Structure 1
Amino acid sequence: MKLQFLGAAKQVTGSMYLLELEDGFKILIDCGTDMEREIDFDEPYESKAFFPFDASLINLVILTHAHIDHSGNIPMLYREGYEGQVLCTPPTAELAELLLMDSANLHLRKLKAAQGESRKKHKQMDRLLRKGDLYLQKDVEHSVNHFITIPFSKKFRATENLEITFIPAGHLLGAAHVHLSITENGVKKTLGFSGDVGRKNYPLHIDPQTMPACDYLVCESTYGNRIHEDKESTKKALGDIIKATCIDKPGRLIIPAFSVGRTQAVLYTLNRLIEEDHFPAIRVFTDSPMGKSSTRIYTKYSSYLNQEAREFQAEYDELFDFDNLKFLQTEKESRAIKNYHEPCIIISSSGMISGGRVETHIADNISNTYCTILLIGYAAEGTLGRQLLAGTDHIQVRDREYKVHAQIRKIDVFSGHADKIGLLDFMKVQSPTTLKKVFLSHGEEESMVEFKEELTNLGYQDVILPEKNQTFIL
């Protein structure tokens, strides 16, 4: 069989792997948006296929979890001729539909904004057409009709020679490691895909579970060279910052957070601060319609959450709802926060400060010395989040420049990725003598190089850093 790395090769986003079995059966594992994809605007525009393969020849898609860098181009796959199923866990199916619909709405807004006869409008439209991923709501609806859900730890026989098992990864509600058992010419081969490995003792999510023994393993390496710095609990870390920002002085705390996963972890932690630590109920604005919808899904699938969360829900009834919490729906409500002058907490997407309503809140408050902007997760190169973490003294938001006077803080207790120690724990269950190859993906090259060295020191002999589009015979 052949394994080709079509995304997340020496970069974090765009997870997509093409596995072709000896009988020609083709499996796509993840089909994510490449947020770092560069477009050549100097070359003449040509309408061409979006994928580097014929989508109509793919037989099956396996989705590890709902995040857009793993699921975001599934509608494009169907637009280009794919007719098969997408296998995933039940929570992943619902969260993916939510995220894909949000992407489709964003595409529609961009298309409408680029309509017109001016030179500027033509340039905007040219950029969108060159980028290519312009699916709309009908494309998402068509895609999700083909989702087939499989529970954790239940072996699913896709063909006579292919067995698939989803194993809890802990990274997001429903997130999975994928274990494939493949029989070719009477020989059984096993192949594992880590998906995104979660961290232990994370709010809400279960701990990542052990991957069965594999002949070949594709492992993410987002934090392959980093150890989570904050050792205190999420309650202690968040509570200290709230006290310093909103209690000891009349300030406001802005928390850029992804609508799916991170927002729920923050709301749950705030609820615990109020119920268990008798924290004052400061006004909390959750400015994300998708955050509200995904919170409903988290509530629906509470049986997939960890024991601590289930026990909290049993005692206090609500995981995410508390006094002084207000979900904002309309942009008018979002803009009105600017005129709220009491201490408050604003939770808004996106987590990297790359698009979304949070950009408006950053622009309105970045020069406010009584404001703290709290980054709680990874921020990719080129995002406003990365610029703020680098200590820049000015930023540009939507074509306007602002001086940075707000306090910039970062905690990593809410990071949904395992750090180097967690990734090593994930790997150590695999025997160095029987694991034939390890492929590192989903990480910046520097992180991969250092993690490879760690694995080599543990005795893993063949650790590979694939290039994009590189193919391996297994």
Structure 2
Amino acid sequence: MKLTVWGAAEQVTGSMHLLEIDSYKILIDCGLDYEGGVELGQNENFPFNPSDIDVVVLTHAHIDHSGNLPTLVKNGFEGQILCTYPTADLTQLLLSDSVNIFMRKQDKSKRHRKFHRNKNRAFNNVQPLYLQKHVNDTAERFITIPFNKAFEINKNITLKLIPTGHLLGAAAAHFTITENGKTKTIAFTGDIGRKDYPVLNDPEYLPETQFLVCESTYGGRLHSDKEKLRDVLIKTIKEACIAQKGRLIIPAFSVGRTQSLVFSLNKIFTDRELPPIPVFVDSPMATMATQTYRKHHRFVSQESRSFYKDKGDGFEFENLSYVKELKESKEISDHFEPCIIISSAGMLEGGRIQDHLFYNIQNFYATIFFIGYCAKGTLGHRLLRGDSIVNINGRELSVFATIKKTDLLSGHGDHQDLLDYVTAIPNNYLKKVFLVHGDPDSMDALKQSLEEKNLEVIIPKKGMIFEL
């Protein structure tokens, strides 16, 4: 059995791992690499022949895990893509959205060429990585399998998807492999969620595993535990919308984070803990993703199912509006009463959120409230580190709005959660742990803690090959 780490090596994005059993090749995840300095077109260059891959196993729908699947298909992959039912639906939404983003960038480059014909030839080369046709071709390859049910890939390889709680449908991929008369086990965590997270079930621990490829996003960091999410949301809304009668702008990923935030706000307003304040969800993708959450309601947490039974739809309440058309989105800027605007993308890299920032970043009565991770190099990261001037839509703007953040809605488990997850596997059974999907400092911190538990831990570089 041979493992090659082809993505998310010493970085967060671009998850992609190749597992080879004799001549059979399994690709676990196929994410877009959009780390700082990586050009979109570089994702076209696979370090292997896509047609040689026999099957893909997808841990969850987020673009850093799924976003390069259409490129794989476009370049010759003809096998199945195995994942859970919710992951298949959410992935199709996200991939189609990626196509829209590519096409907008291409359109922007064409307009730039028209008005700056001889100034920057680099803009002549902006091409979409893939088209909707390739997304449709990819969707035809999805084979959905239930959680915790053994699925026989072939007579020597069995897959089981174990819930990780990070996103609706998210799962760790656990393989039982027979090779040369010996049984081996290896698991890929994908991303690991948190306990008691709104809407989602808690992560489930893995069965016995010899080799583990584990994410490390929050290695070395602990989530806040001094306050409860409900209290933080109430306090922030009171300060931003009641005390100074301003607007609260919340950047949130359309798939996952927005649904958890809306459900949390629903509970607050339904229980009359705050006076009614207009809440706008300004993201067509979030609206479609919410429909998918409704469709797969049996996979949400017991709390969400109980809320639905006792009080109704967890994603609808009296003062909530889902904004569909761009015209409606622009009209929000003319809404001068206190309000809450939830819009994507969470790191502020594109999407309607940039327009809301453009019109509000110099507004002393606006509050920008971050509820998730922002990678280095993103606009969100620059605001969080305290930059006083930022570039939005091509203009340098001073930051007068209040910037706040909380990690209570982070979808990733923190250092202790990761440590608990790994050490739940019997120590005498687990042979090696490979850390991926994290920055070097996070990986080093988690590696040190795991080594204190007498585990062998490896931080692989991209392209490293391991014989297991």
Give the TM-score of the pair, scaled to structure 2.
0.96
Aligned equivalents of 1:120 and 1:113: distance in 2?
15
Letter in structure 1 aligned against 2:19: L
Cα deviations by residue, 1:183-235 (Å, 9 ceiling, x for unpaired): 00110000011110000000000000011111100110000110002442221
Aligned-residue offset at 1:40: 7.9
Cα deviations by residue, 1:80-112 (Å, 9 ceiling, x for unpaired): 000001000000000000000000111122223
Does residue 326 (structure 1) correspond to residue 353 (structure 2)? The answer is: no
Confirm or deny: 8 A CA contact 1:268 1:319 kept in the other structure: yes
Aligned-residue offset at 1:449: 0.3
Q: Secondary structure of 1:119's match?
A: coil
Q: Secondary structure of 2:274's match?
A: coil
Confirm or deny: 8 A CA contact 2:2 2:19 kept in the other structure: yes
Of residues 404-413 and 31-40 in structure 1, the stretch that sits farther from structure 2 once superposed is 31-40
Match of 1:416 in 2: 411
Confirm or deny: 8 A CA contact 1:267 1:320 kept in the other structure: yes
Confirm or deny: 8 A CA contact 1:230 1:412 kept in the other structure: no
Q: Secondary structure of 1:217's match?
A: strand
Residue correspondence of structure 1 range 367-406 to structure 2 within 5 A:
367-406=362-401
Query: Aligned residues: percent identity?
Result: 49
1:179 pairs, out of 168, 174, 181, with 174
Letter in structure 2 aligned against 1:26: K
Aligned equivalents of 1:21 and 1:6: distance in 2?
17
Aligned equivalents of 1:303 and 1:381: distance in 2?
36
Confirm or deny: 8 A CA contact 2:219 2:418 kept in the other structure: yes
Residue correspondence of structure 1 range 7-26 to structure 2 within 5 A:
7-22=7-22, 24-26=23-25
Distance 1:368 1:335, change over 3 A: same
Confirm or deny: 8 A CA contact 1:114 1:121 kept in the other structure: no
1:237 pairs, out of 222, 225, 232, with 232
Aligned equivalents of 1:188 and 1:160: distance in 2?
12
Match of 2:260 in 1: 265
Cα deviations by residue, 1:227-277 (Å, 9 ceiling, x for unpaired): 002442221111110011111221100000000000001110110001124
Aligned-residue offset at 1:157: 0.2
Distance 1:121 1:298, change over 3 A: farther
Does residue 34 (structure 1) correspond to residue 33 (structure 2)? The answer is: yes
Aligned-residue offset at 1:311: 0.5
Match of 1:192 in 2: 187
Aligned-residue offset at 1:121: 7.1
Aligned-residue offset at 1:124: 1.4
2:438 pairs, out of 429, 439, 443, with 443
Match of 2:462 in 1: 468
Aligned-residue offset at 1:37: 6.0
Match of 1:252 in 2: 247
Give the TM-score of the pair, scaled to structure 1.
0.95
Aligned-residue offset at 1:331: 1.8
Q: Secondary structure of 1:163's match?
A: strand
Aligned equivalents of 1:236 and 1:277: distance in 2?
14
Does residue 57 (structure 1) correspond to residue 52 (structure 2)? The answer is: yes
Cα deviations by residue, 1:270-306 (Å, 9 ceiling, x for unpaired): 1000112442220011110000000001111111011
Unaligned stretches of 5+ in structure 1? Answer: none
Cα deviations by residue, 1:391-424 (Å, 9 ceiling, x for unpaired): 1111111220111111110111100000011101
Residue correspondence of structure 1 range 245-394 to structure 2 within 5 A:
245-394=240-389
Aligned-residue offset at 1:360: 1.0
Letter in structure 2 aligned against 1:445: P
Aligned-residue offset at 1:332: 1.8
Letter in structure 2 aligned against 1:25: Y
Does residue 2 (structure 1) correspond to residue 27 (structure 2)? The answer is: no
Aligned-residue offset at 1:120: 5.2
Aligned equivalents of 1:226 and 1:114: distance in 2?
40
Aligned-residue offset at 1:49: 5.7
Confirm or deny: 8 A CA contact 2:36 2:376 kept in the other structure: no
Match of 1:223 in 2: 218
Aligned-residue offset at 1:114: 2.8
Q: Secondary structure of 1:66's match?
A: coil
Match of 2:107 in 1: 112
Aligned equivalents of 1:281 and 1:48: distance in 2?
46
Does residue 166 (structure 1) correspond to residue 161 (structure 2)? The answer is: yes
Aligned-residue offset at 1:329: 1.4
1:211 pairs, out of 206, 209, 214, with 206
Confirm or deny: 8 A CA contact 1:299 1:319 kept in the other structure: no
Letter in structure 1 aligned against 2:155: E
Letter in structure 2 aligned against 1:77: L
Aligned equivalents of 1:412 and 1:429: distance in 2?
25
Confirm or deny: 8 A CA contact 2:87 2:168 kept in the other structure: yes
Aligned equivalents of 2:94 and 2:417: distance in 1?
27
Confirm or deny: 8 A CA contact 1:190 1:216 kept in the other structure: yes
Confirm or deny: 8 A CA contact 1:230 1:411 kept in the other structure: no
Q: Secondary structure of 1:26's match?
A: strand
Aligned equivalents of 2:374 and 2:229: distance in 1?
19
Unaligned stretches of 5+ in structure 2? Answer: none
Aligned-residue offset at 1:39: 4.9
Aligned-residue offset at 1:438: 0.3
Aligned equivalents of 1:40 and 1:348: distance in 2?
25
Residue correspondence of structure 1 range 38-117 to structure 2 within 5 A:
38-39=37-38, 50-115=45-110
Aligned equivalents of 1:14 and 1:172: distance in 2?
17
Q: Secondary structure of 2:346's match?
A: coil
Confirm or deny: 8 A CA contact 2:33 2:43 kept in the other structure: no
Q: Secondary structure of 2:438's match?
A: coil
Aligned-residue offset at 1:122: 4.2
Moved over 3 A (4+): 37-41, 119-122
Q: Secondary structure of 2:341's match?
A: strand
Q: Secondary structure of 1:31's match?
A: coil
Aligned residues: 464
